[in-house]
Structure 1
């Protein structure tokens, strides 16, 4: 067993999951992914980086918000359905209340230039957090069956398909997800055959 797996901790109770995901949700304006990685892997050590990448990959393929899917899987891992409900509750409750309050007061606040500037700034910060998290997670690609070059090729193809050719995201996920799955199966079979 490696030292990362030995250092992994567990939440003490479903309430601990609820609090952790509430704190996580309140930190993630415009996207929780980077915050989730920092909170769950680095700070709380409930997952290793490899486990996070694997779980997040599955969470992206499932319908619904990625981090909500991740919270469901992590909650279920530790406390079954009670943990899944606690994690999802923590992920959704405080942001729901906050969004309802902001929506109710948007007409009064939208006319202030400072509010518009703050919203634009949050979008830039969210983009930076996602980029920083992606760079931090690059190390896990060394152990990926595809290797870093095929992973980079799939990532670049995804970026070009979405930004240059404006392919709908659903088609990109289906097409490149299927291509990535086939490539991974081929690489794994090749590794197993070579041993």
Structure 2
């Protein structure tokens, strides 16, 4: 693989931002893992996990890490710039349209349909990521059982109990870190 230039990074992230309007992460997975092959599925999951611990939008944090990995500060700036420039102008235009036509039933129905599509894309990406986490699972290994338990607890906390993300994260991140450390100590 050739090392991508800041220009290439800008163009890839611009395309992501314009394709994934309303939810870029599914498109980011496809572009970075499946198309460009800049990251493995496991690396993407690690970058995403780290990005969710940092302040700011997760996709911006992922883009900074990927851009920096391949082209340093210039790559990081190119990646974030690619994410922001196109959508900035689109949001301004859509804001103007919403002010003019936001009360029309056709407009409201279109937004509702887009929300359903975005939810499906996010679910499909989550399933792909979960599949990659367990692709080589040996269920006798405690680490895989721990990952499955944390995944299930996060799903229950966010999806079923509808706790805030920060609450679930603050409960599960220390628990998962401590458990992984203890398991590593026993296996080491």
Tell me whether the two structures share a fold, i.e. TM-score over 0.5.
Answer: yes
Cα shift at 1:10: 4.4
Whole-angstrom CA distance in 1 between matches of 2:113 and 2:45: 28
Cα shift at 1:11: 4.6
User: Does 2:51 match 1:53?
Assistant: no
Task: Report the aligned-residue RMSD.
Answer: 1.9
User: For this pair of structures, how many residues does the alignment match?
Assistant: 184
Whole-angstrom CA distance in 1 between matches of 2:130 and 2:162: 26
Partner of 1:124: 116
Work out whether residues 102 and 108 of structure 2, in 8 Å CA contact, stay in contact via their aligned partners in 1: yes
Match for residue 32 of structure 1 among 1, 24, 39: 24
> TM-score normalized by structure 1?
0.86
Work out whether residues 10 and 46 of structure 1, in 8 Å CA contact, stay in contact via their aligned partners in 2: no
Match of 1:37, SS?
helix
Match for residue 181 of structure 1 among 177, 180, 184: 177
Higher mean C-alpha deviation, range 75-84 or range 106-115: 106-115
Tell me, which stretches of 5 or more residues in structure 2 are unaligned? none
* Distance of aligned partners of 1:78 and 1:70 in 2 relative to their CA distance in 1, 3 Å threshold: same
Whole-angstrom CA distance in 1 between matches of 2:83 and 2:30: 16
Whole-angstrom CA distance in 2 between matches of 1:75 and 1:39: 14
Partner of 2:35: 43
Partner of 1:6: none
Match of 2:161, SS?
coil
* Distance of aligned partners of 1:93 and 1:40 in 2 relative to their CA distance in 1, 3 Å threshold: same
Tell me, which stretches of 5 or more residues in structure 1 are unaligned? 1-8
> TM-score normalized by structure 2?
0.89
1:121-160 equivalences in 2 (<5 Å): 121-142=113-134, 147-160=143-156
User: Does 2:65 match 1:73?
Assistant: yes
